[in-house]
């Protein structure tokens, strides 16, 4: 192998006349009689190299047999390209390297798919040969964005006096959340570690230990149903701070977000991020992670439907609507598709009316008087050519179904731009949700989230309406960070545990040392965790989280490349005193 003097993305006109050595993969081969043009590629770029039969002293017939992804080491002289051959789309497009000598480092087997085009192969095939897909320009760009996000995060937090501390990967299994991944202990038979769903307990312990600003870029594990933006193992930027309140969290995390977007994408996120309470977000957008890149806000139309002759909505708790500009073009087929879509979110149907000739036509418009038509158009801002979609049901179904419809229509109408970033804080989440099956409250975030100070009294009198000091940072329809101010009072923590159906003894059994540690002088503290993979996904402009993880799992939590999870030997199971229970047929 020739020791490389330059990368394949480096050579310019100033290098003309230099003798250089390059190493890389054959990206393309073009045969032109006695001349062979090859684009040689590494992660830095591509350089055109030229084998000319008249000047090349090696085996020219072997050169003609070069294949894509062969690994070459070449030595040659940098020459200017002919004016007509300059490629303005390549960083090295003004030069070429005339090869004097080359070494075949490794011949590539026939490829399972064309590496220059991701769309020519199904995702499962690409995941099986992930090491080949990772050679693609798009994936390499994504991995570099991920790397730059790591570095930008560390530089900002270090400058803000955060201390990076690692927490254990093997910990005690805790309830309240997704299923744990369990790790059996060989030494302590019948006992298990859990892989952490987050370092929540450890980072609160670090605050009690006096480390007032902690962070960690950490792997977390959750055994849950997967989606395009979820993985069984994922990465968080985990942070905790002492002697702070929400305003400190907002300012520090807005600074981190602005720094990352500036450093990685050269995007300026100006000003303070807007804030919406959870109730405002749900009522306005039907989502606690609203996409603010477009309008189409939810409108309350209960007073109008009550005054109409349309009886199906009379008993509905909430009737909400969205106005789709230009939506009158939708055919009955499209409206039926959208009706089926909202039924996935438990809506019974989708009512509609089209704006036309100063009033409404079609759908349920005949049940509304002319006066109601005029009032609704004025109040809701409906113009000719628009369509009004309405859903009536219990509040949760109405808001959720219409919120999802809003997002679906935005996709159909191409209302979003990937390079437009709209962050918004969601605040004042409910403390609890009521689990009908378990007949008890469950924590909406986790049991260590503090109630609002004004709502502490409601823990006794009205827990279902108690609001928390939780907060999420969302962007473009994704939650990119979530956290809360924590409970540091032992008395309040015990009250929250009791509302969750836990005695102090049970809390110590389940949450261990944190409950006891809170009795030894815990400072006021709070924190947040950024979903690192999701953040990089936004920075990279993709909608699939697998595109920004080097070796991701499928939606069924399998790795097609290394075939995990896999069976293990009986000897390994015997060491752990584990027997595999046969599934019942």
- From first CA to last CA, the distance across the chain in angstroms is 59
- Compute the distance between CA of residue 548 and CA of residue 532 in angstroms, rounded to an integer: 10
227-236, 326-335, 564-573, 574-583: segment of lowest average pLDDT:
227-236
Report the SS3 class of residue 153.
helix
The model's pTM is 0.91
Task: Output the pLDDT for position 177.
Answer: 64
Which stretch of DSSP H or E encloses residue 482? strand 478-485
- Compute the distance between CA of residue 463 and CA of residue 456 in angstroms, rounded to an integer: 9
| Per-residue model confidence as pLDDT tens digits over 313-343 | 999 999 999 999 999 999 999 999 999 999 9
Q: What is the mean pLDDT of residues 521-540?
A: 96
Residue count of the chain, please give it.
585
Query: Tokens 């329809």 label which residue?
Result: 477
**Quick one: tokens of 525?**
């503290």
Contact of 171 with 193, CB cutoff 8 Å: yes
Residues pairing with 564 in the sheet: 559
Position 585 pLDDT exceeds 60: no
| Per-residue model confidence as pLDDT tens digits over 33-56 | 899 999 999 999 999 999 999 888
Task: Output the pLDDT for position 228.
Answer: 60
List all residues 6 or more positions away from 297 whose beta carbon is below 8 Å from its beta carbon: 284, 285, 322
Candidates 130, 133, 121, 120; CA nearest to 559 is 130
Query: Tokens 């004016």 label which residue?
Result: 83
Q: What is the mean pLDDT of residues 260-274?
A: 96
Check whether the bond before 565 is cis (ω within 30° of 0). yes
Q: What is the mean pLDDT of residues 542-555?
A: 93
466-480, 513-527, 533-547: segment of lowest average pLDDT:
513-527
* DSSP state letters, 483-505: EEEBP--HHHHHHHHHHTT--HH
List all residues 6 or more positions away from 426 whose beta carbon is below 8 Å from its beta carbon: 275, 276, 277, 278, 281, 288, 289, 290, 471, 472, 473, 474
Q: What is the mean pLDDT of residues 207-215?
A: 97
Residues pairing with 100 in the sheet: none
Task: Output the pLDDT for position 229.
Answer: 63
Q: What is the mean pLDDT of residues 115-136?
A: 93
| Per-residue model confidence as pLDDT tens digits over 465-514 | 999 999 999 999 999 999 999 999 888 888 888 888 887 778 777 776 88
Position 516 pLDDT exceeds 90: no
Contact of 518 with 488, CB cutoff 8 Å: yes
Pseudo-torsion of CA 366, 369, 372, 377, nearest 10°?
50
Pseudo-torsion of CA 369, 371, 373, 379, nearest 10°?
-140
Backbone φ and ψ for 43, nearest 5 degrees, come out as: -70, -10
- Looking only at the bridges linking them, the beta strands covering 213-221 and 163-164 are parallel
- Compute the distance between CA of residue 258 and CA of residue 253 in angstroms, rounded to an integer: 8
- Compute the distance between CA of residue 200 and CA of residue 328 in angstroms, rounded to an integer: 50
Pseudo-torsion of CA 219, 224, 228, 230, nearest 10°?
-20
- Compute the distance between CA of residue 280 and CA of residue 222 in angstroms, rounded to an integer: 30
């Amino acid at each position: 192998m020739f020791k490389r003097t330059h990368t394949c993305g480096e050579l310019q006109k100033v290098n003309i006349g230099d003798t250089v050595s390059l190493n890389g993969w054959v990206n393309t081969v073009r045969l032109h009689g006695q001349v062979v043009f090859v684009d040689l590629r590494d992660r830095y770029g591509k350089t055109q190299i030229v084998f000319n039969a008249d000047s090349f002293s090696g085996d020219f017939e072997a050169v003609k047999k070069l294949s894509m992804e062969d690994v070459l080491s070449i030595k040659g002289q940098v020459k200017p390209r002919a004016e007509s051959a300059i490629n303005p789309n390549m960083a090295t497009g003004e030069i070429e390297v005339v090869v004097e000598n080359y070494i075949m480092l490794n011949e590539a087997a026939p490829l399972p798919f064309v590496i220059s085009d991701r769309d020519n192969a199904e995702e499962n095939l690409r995941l099986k040969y992930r090491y080949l897909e990772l050679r693609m320009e798009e994936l390499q760009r994504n991995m570099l964005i991920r790397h730059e996000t790591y570095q930008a995060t560390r530089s900002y937090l270090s400058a803000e006096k955060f201390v990076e501390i690692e927490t254990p990967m093997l910990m005690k299994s805790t309830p309240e959340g997704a299923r744990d991944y369990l790790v059996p202990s060989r030494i302590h038979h019948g006992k298990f570690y859990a892989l952490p769903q987050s370092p929540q307990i450890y980072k609160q312990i670090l605050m009690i230990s006096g480390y007032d600003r902690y962070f960690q870029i950490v792997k977390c594990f959750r055994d849950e149903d997967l989606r395009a933006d979820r993985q069984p193992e994922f990465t968080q930027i985990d942070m905790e701070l002492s002697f702070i309140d929400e305003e400190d969290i907002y300012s520090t995390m807005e600074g981190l977000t602005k720094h990352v977007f500036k450093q990685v994408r050269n995007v300026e996120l100006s000003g303070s991020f807007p804030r919406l309470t959870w109730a405002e977000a749900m009522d306005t957008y039907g989502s606690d992670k609203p996409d603010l890149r477009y309008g189409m806000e939810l409108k309350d139309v209960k007073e109008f439907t009550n005054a109409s002759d349309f009886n199906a909505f009379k008993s509905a708790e909430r009737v909400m609507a969205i106005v789709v500009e230009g939506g009158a073009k939708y055919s009955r087929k499209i409206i039926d598709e959208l009706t089926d879509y909202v039924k996935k979110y438990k809506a019974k149907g989708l009512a509609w009316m089209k704006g036309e000739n100063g009033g409404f036509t079609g759908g349920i418009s005949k049940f509304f008087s002319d006066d109601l038509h005029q009032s609704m158009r004025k109040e809701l801002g409906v113009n000719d050519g628009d369509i009004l979609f309405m859903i009536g049901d219990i509040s949760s179904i109405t808001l959720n179904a219409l919120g999802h419809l809003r997002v679906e229509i935005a996709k159909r109408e191409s209302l979003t731009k990937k390079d437009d970033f709209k962050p918004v804080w969601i605040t004042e989440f409910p403390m609890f949700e009521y689990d009908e099956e378990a007949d008890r409250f469950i924590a909406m975030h986790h049991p260590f989230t503090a109630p609002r100070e004004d709502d502490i009294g409601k823990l006794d009198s009205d827990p279902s309406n108690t609001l928390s000091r939780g907060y999420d940072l969302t962007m473009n329809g994704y939650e990119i960070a979530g956290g809360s101010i924590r409970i540091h009072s032992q008395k309040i923590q015990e009250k929250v545990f009791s509302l969750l159906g836990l005695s102090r003894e049970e809390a110590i059994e389940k949450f261990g040392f944190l409950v006891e540690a809170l009795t030894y002088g815990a400072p006021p503290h709070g924190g947040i965790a950024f979903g690192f993979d999701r953040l990089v996904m936004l920075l990279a402009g993709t909608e699939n989280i697998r595109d920004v993880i080097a070796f991701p799992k499928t939606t069924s939590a399998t790795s097609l490349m290394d075939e995990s999870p896999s069976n293990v030997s009986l000897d390994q199971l015997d060491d752990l005193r584990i027997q595999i229970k046969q599934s019942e047929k």
